[in-house]
Structure 1
Amino acid sequence: MKLVSWNVNGLRACVNKGFNDFFKESGADIFCVQETKLQEGQIVLEQGEEYMQYWNYALKKGYSGTAVFTRIKPLSVRYGIEEDTEPEGRIITLEFAGFYLVNVYTPNAKRDLTRLEYRMEWEDRFRNYLLALDQHKPVVVCGDLNVAHQDIDLKNAKSNRGNSGFTDEERGKMTTLLDSGFVDTFRYFYPDTEGAYSWWSYMPKIRERNVGWRIDYFLASSRMAPQLVEAGIESNVLGSDHCPVVLTIKELDS
Structure 2
Amino acid sequence: MILISWNIDSLNAALTGTSSRAEETRQVLKAIRNQKADVIAIQETKLRATGPTKKHLDILTTEFPQYDLVWRSAEEPARKSYAGTMFLYKKDLNPVVSFPVIGAPEPMDNEGRIITLEFPNYFVTQVYTPNSGSGLKRLDERQIWDDRYRKYLAKLDQQKPVLASGDYNCAHEEIDLKHPDNNHHSAGFTDEERIGFSKLLQAGFTDTFRKVNGNIEGVYSWWAQRIKTAKINNSGWRIDYWLTSNRIANLVKRSEMMATGARADHCPILLEITI
TM-score, structure 2 length as denominator?
0.87
Q: CA deviation at 1:212?
A: 0.3
The equivalent of 1:223 in structure 2 is 247
2:93 aligns with one of 70, 73, 79? 73
CA deviations 1:165-207 (Å, max 9, x no partner) are 0000000010011011100000001121111000001111110
Q: Is residue 74 of structure 2 the alignment partner of residue 58 of structure 1?
A: yes
SS in 2 for 1:120: helix
Asked if 1:25 is matched to 2:34, the reply is: yes
| 1:120 corresponds to 2:143 | yes
TM-score, L = length of structure 1: 0.93
CA–CA separation in structure 1 for the residues paired with 2:259 and 2:135: 28
Gapped regions of structure 2 (runs ≥ 5)? 16-21
List gaps (5 residues or longer) in structure 1. none
Q: How far, CA to CA, are the matches of 1:226 and 1:142 in structure 2? A: 17
In the alignment, the residues of structure 2 paired with residue 57 and residue 238 of structure 1 have an alpha-carbon distance, to the nearest angstrom, of 29
Pair 1:7-2:31 in alignment: no
| Contact 1:79 1:86 (8 Å CA) reproduced | no
Q: Which residue of 1 aligns with 2:19?
A: none
1:240 deviates by 5.5
Name the aligned partner's letter for residue 10 of structure 2: G
CA–CA distance in 1 between the matches of 2:264 and 2:34? 17
Per the TM alignment, residue 25 of structure 1 is displaced from its structure 2 partner at its CA by 1.4
Choose the corresponding residue for 1:143, options 166, 171, 175: 166
Structure 1 residues 97 and 105, CA, compared in 2 at 3 Å: closer, same or farther?
same
- For the 8 Å contact 1:80–1:89, the answer to whether it is kept is no
Question: Are 1:14 and 1:239, in contact at CA under 8 Å, matched by a contact in 2?
Answer: no
Counterpart-to-counterpart distance in 2, 1:228 and 1:113: 35
Higher relative contact order (CA 8 A, sep 6+): 1
Q: Whole-Å Cα distance in 2 between the matches of residues 83 and 117 of structure 1?
A: 15
Change (3 A) 1:238 1:130: farther
- Contact 1:14/1:240, CA 8 A, preserved across alignment: no
C-alpha deviations, 1:127-177, integer Å up to 9, x for none? Answer: 000111101100011000000000000000001112110000000010011
Amino acid at match of 1:64: A
- Letter of the aligned partner of 1:70 in structure 2? Y
The structure-2 alpha-carbon separation of the partners of 1:156 and 1:114, relative to structure 1 and needing over 3 Å to count, comes to same
* Distance in 1 between residues matched to 2:47 and 2:261, nearest whole Å: 22
RMSD (Å) for aligned C-alpha atoms: 1.7
1:200 aligned residue (223, 227, 242): 223
Once the 2 structures are TM-superposed, how far is the Cα of residue 237 of structure 1 from its aligned partner? 4.9
Change in CA separation of 1:237 and 1:94 when aligned onto 2, cut-off 3 Å: farther
Which of 189, 192, 199 is the matching residue for 1:169? 192
Instruction: Provide the identity percentage.
Output: 40
SS in 1 for 2:142: helix
Relative distance call for 1:238 and 1:133 in structure 2 (3 A) is: farther
Q: Higher helix fraction: Structure 1 or Structure 2?
A: 2
Moved more, 129-138 or 8-17: 8-17
Q: Pick closer, same or farther for the CA change 1:55–1:145 going to 2, 3 Å.
A: same
Give the letter for the 2:168 counterpart. Answer: L
Instruction: Tell me which residue corresponds to 2:18.
Output: none
